[in-house]
Amino acid sequence: MLMTAFTFIGANAAINRANNYLYASNATATAGKTVEVTLNMKNSKTITVWQTELVLPEGITLVGAEATDRWSEEITKNGNKLFSETETAVADGDGVIAKITLQVASTVAAGEYEIALSAIKMVSPEAGDIEQDENKVFKLTVEEPVGIKGDVDGNGSVGVGDIEAVLAIMAGGESTPAADVDGNGSVGVGDIEAILVIMAGGE
């Protein structure tokens, strides 16, 4: 009889994990800019408290989180952790509870990155604590910034300031994809020469 009871509890816990969890939608970002990602809650039980922690690739940081109408209370951010401190019920179903903002560094190469929601825990008055055994992963596709070739300083035109920006990078400053004007994979004298050609009317 005792074994049957434990089996029933274990089955219930598995069902709750399968039907109550957080997940984020895939998104596309541009290197050097921020991107907004929707955080969603799938729930078959009434949820009053939740928390999760983002596992982020190098160069991508969590900079903000804002609740939506489905979760009307403030969401707290502590490093890469997100959690609700107030006991606000969320209706059963599936929908957006927050919009989170990620900063993508200009040094992040174009490509597809996996971001995980880990340590997911939800609290239900009906089911108690619901903790996920596995991370919920979403994909962030990073694209190279589209701009004017040679506009290294980002002012919308090509001029002396762009040469100065390349020189600063060559002296040890932080590089950006736009600085590789000649497309050889590094920043150097060739990029200054390419900027001079553009300034003279070339491409």
Burial readout 133-155 (b: 16 or more C-beta within 10 A, e: otherwise): eebbebebebeeeeeeebbbbbe
96: which strand partners? 40
CA distance 60 to 138: 14
The answer to whether 154 touches 178, Cβ cutoff 8 Å, is yes
Least confidently predicted of 62-76, 90-104, 146-160: 146-160
The answer to whether 106 touches 176, Cβ cutoff 8 Å, is yes
Angle at CA of residue 170, ends 168 and 172, nearest 5°? 75
Instruction: Answer yes or no: is pLDDT of 63 > 90.
Output: yes
Q: How confident is the model at residue 120 (pLDDT cuts 50, 70, 90)?
A: very high
The pair of structure tokens assigned to 184 is 């050889």
Question: Tens digits of per-residue pLDDT, 80-100?
Answer: 999 987 777 887 788 999 999
Instruction: Answer yes or no: is pLDDT of 53 > 50.
Output: yes
Q: Domains in the chain, please, with CATH?
A: 2-143 (2.60.40.680), 160-199 (no CATH)
What's the 3-state SS for 20-62? CEEEECCEEEECCCEEEEEEEEEECCCECEEEEEEECCCCEEE
Please give the mean pLDDT across all residues of the chain.
88
Tokens 């089911």 -> residue: 127
Least confidently predicted of 52-61, 144-153, 181-190: 144-153
User: What's the predicted TM-score (pTM) here?
Assistant: 0.70
CA distance 75 to 71: 9
φ/ψ of 197, rounded to 5, equals -65, -45
Query: Which of helix, strand or coil describes residue 1?
Result: coil
Supply the DSSP symbol for 146: P
Cα 89 to Cα 60, 71, 74, 122, 139: the distances in Å are 31, 8, 13, 11, 29
Supply the DSSP symbol for 107: T
